[in-house]
């Protein structure tokens, strides 16, 4: 969708929606961000499993698979960093 083809009101509505979404994202707690990243990571499994069902993978599919694998690695690195640096661990029974 190109913005030039939209009327001014629609452009303003899209901009307002984008800014609201951005503010919601910036106000997320680390544990909520972590949940979103884990969900995205899990979604990559579905995509890769779908590719496993395809018997004829061409060059374009191979590039897409490589990109998804890199995305998975970046998500896992982010999940690991957030888990170790931002998310408070649940107290164990001994600490209670």
Q: Where are the domains of the chain?
A: 30-86
Q: Is the pLDDT of residue 44 over 70?
A: yes
* Predicted local distance difference test score (pLDDT) of residue 60: 84
As a whole number of angstroms, the distance between CA 28 and CA 31 comes to 8
Is residue 43 pLDDT above 60, yes or no?
yes
CA of 72: how far to CAs of 19, 41, 55, in Å? 27, 6, 23
Would you say 75 and 40 are in contact if contact means Cβ atoms under 8 Å apart? Answer: yes
What is the C-alpha separation between 23 and 46, in angstroms, rounded? 29
Confidence grade of residue 67 (pLDDT, cut at 50, 70, 90): very high
Residue 59 CA to residue 71 CA, distance in Å, equals: 18
pTM above 0.75, yes or no: no
How far apart CA 57 and CA 40 sit, in angstroms, is 24
Residue 89 is given by DSSP the state P
Q: What is the pLDDT of residue 56?
A: 77
């Amino acid at each position: 969708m190109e913005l030039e083809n939209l009327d001014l009101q629609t452009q303003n509505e899209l901009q307002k929606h984008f800014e609201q979404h951005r503010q919601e994202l910036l106000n997320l707690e680390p544990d909520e961000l972590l949940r979103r990243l884990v969900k995205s990571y899990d979604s990559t499994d579905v995509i890769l499993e779908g590719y496993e069902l395809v018997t004829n993978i061409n060059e374009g599919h191979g590039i897409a698979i490589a990109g998804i694998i890199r995305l998975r690695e970046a998500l896992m690195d982010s999940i690991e960093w957030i888990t170790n640096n931002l998310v408070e661990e649940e107290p164990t029974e001994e600490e209670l």
